[in-house]
Structure 1
Amino acid sequence: MSDPVSSIRNLGPAFEQACARAGIHSAKELRDLGADATYTRLLQAGTKAHFIGYYVLVMGLQGRPWNDCKGDEKKALRHRFDAIKASVSTVPQNRMISDLDAIGVRVAPKDLKPV
């Protein structure tokens, strides 16, 4: 059995649950993906973007305390975070809505009849 995501330094149960929603179920999977790909998948799965969450992940994968990130290193991580956030589109969510509309799962307001 693989080590859980929460076995990585700085990452607790809430982060582990977010990873599970993104299809990441073990520390090994997370390490293999790396911080940027993991965070991208978290955002695509609906996790709200938060810079501290990103750099906590980066520091944890390096085996460092979460608050060890400072100065130029923190600025560089901020640029990476901003790029990841910008790359994640809401198109899949909009596509899902249009797919649901196409099969009639959602009802348009104009189609509602008074009872």
Structure 2
Amino acid sequence: MPTPVSTIPNLGPASEAAFARAGIHSAEEIRAMGADAAYLRLLQADTRPHFIGYYVLVMGLQGRPWNDCQGAEKAALRTRFDELKAQAARTPSNKRDRLRLEAVLDEIGLREPPK
């Protein structure tokens, strides 16, 4: 049985819903993808980019409190966040549309979520 996304430290029901809309339904999927790929999927599914949301995910996957990110580490994460935003902007609209469609099909139960 998959583990809920909200079991990752710092992530709650809103994050879980956003990941579900992006077609990601378990903490295992996020861990396997890594923070950058998982956050990119959120952006490609038209989740509004938010730096805090990104570094909260990174910190959570490391088992750290969300506010543990400071100084040079936070600056480096900001650079990665900006790169992910730029990459998402380059994603062809047909791929974004497919990701949104898959998420809707998952949500209404017409497609088996990935395990």
Rounded Cα–Cα distance in structure 1 between residues aligned with 2:36 and 2:96:
25
* 1:64-111 Cα distance to aligned partner (Å, 9 max, x none): 0000000000000000000000111266447889xxxxxxxxxxxxxx
Q: Tell me what 1:14 maps to.
A: 14
* Residues paired across the two proteins, number: 97
Question: Structure 1 regions of 5+ residues with no counterpart?
Answer: 98-115
What is the percentage of aligned positions where both structures have the same residue?
68
TM-score (norm 1): 0.79
Amino acid at match of 2:42: L
Runs of 4+ in 1 over 4 A off after TM superposition: 94-97
Amino acid at match of 1:33: M
Amino acid at match of 1:21: R
Q: 1:70 to 1:91 in 2, by over 3 A?
A: closer
Query: CA RMSD of the aligned region, Å?
Result: 1.8
Larger radius of gyration: 1
Structural mapping, 1:1-115, within 5 Å: 1-89=1-89, 92-93=92-93
TM-score (norm 2): 0.79
Question: Structure 2 regions of 5+ residues with no counterpart?
Answer: 98-115
